[in-house]
Amino acid sequence: MTTLFFWACVIFTPAVLIHLILLRLIRGQRFILSGYAVLVVVLLVSVPFVLSRGFLSAFCVYLWLVILWNLYLIFFINLTNSVSLRIMFEISKSRTKALSFQEIMGIYSDDETFRARVVGLEVGGFIVLQGQTMTLTSKGNQFARLLGLFRTVFSITDFG
């Protein structure tokens, strides 16, 4: 089973690289559609190699590959749609590295969702609330920088 997982990873790695190149060309748009398009092409191209290992082995390799690919896309979706990540990223982008509730609320209109996310960020140790101002902790700042790196790698311009 380890060997089959290895072969799934061998196929997965260039597929991710192809997807990253494609995302650069289409500027991060339609990442799910382009992701599944790349997966289908990779599955079709790898059929002769994978089937040469036997039907059951091919099934297992493709199962691992689909699992890995969906994990990759879920990671990608979280980068583009996470409200909590967006709040941290907006704070990290600000000149003072701190934003008021009103400034953040200028980005979001759903007060309940926003307040729940802020509480979660504070409990998780990502931000510190000082009156009406949120400031990133060192943990939050590191996470926001990592988020910025991933956004650059995946060509994501809008999210949250």
pLDDT tens sequence across 46-55: 999 999 989 9
CA torsion sign, 47 to 74 to 139 to 135?
Answer: positive
Would the pTM count as exceeding 0.75? no
Label residue 109 by pLDDT band (50, 70, 90): low
Q: Alpha-carbon distance 22 to 133, whole Å? A: 40
Domain parsing of the chain, residue ranges: 2-81, 83-153
Q: Alpha-carbon distance 83 to 109, whole Å? A: 12
**Distance set, CA 140 to CA 122, 147, 150 (Å):** 10, 10, 15
Q: Alpha-carbon distance 129 to 81, whole Å? A: 23
Hey, which bits of 4-97 come out as E strands? none
Q: Which fold is adopted by the domain 83-153? A: Arc Repressor Mutant, subunit A (1.10.10)
pLDDT tens sequence across 137-157: 999 999 999 988 888 887 877
Neighbouring CB atoms inside 10 A of 45's CB total 13
Question: With b meaning 16 or more CB within 10 Å and e meaning fewer, what string describes 120-137?
Answer: ebeeeebbeeeeebbebb
Q: Alpha-carbon distance 94 to 50, whole Å? A: 50
Share of the chain above pLDDT 90, in %: 47
pLDDT tens sequence across 8-53: 999 999 999 999 999 889 877 777 888 899 999 999 999 999 999 8
For residues 79-96, give the mean pLDDT.
84
Q: Alpha-carbon distance 99 to 32, whole Å? A: 32
User: Which residues, in sequence order, are CB contacts of 149 under 8 Å at separation 6+?
Assistant: none
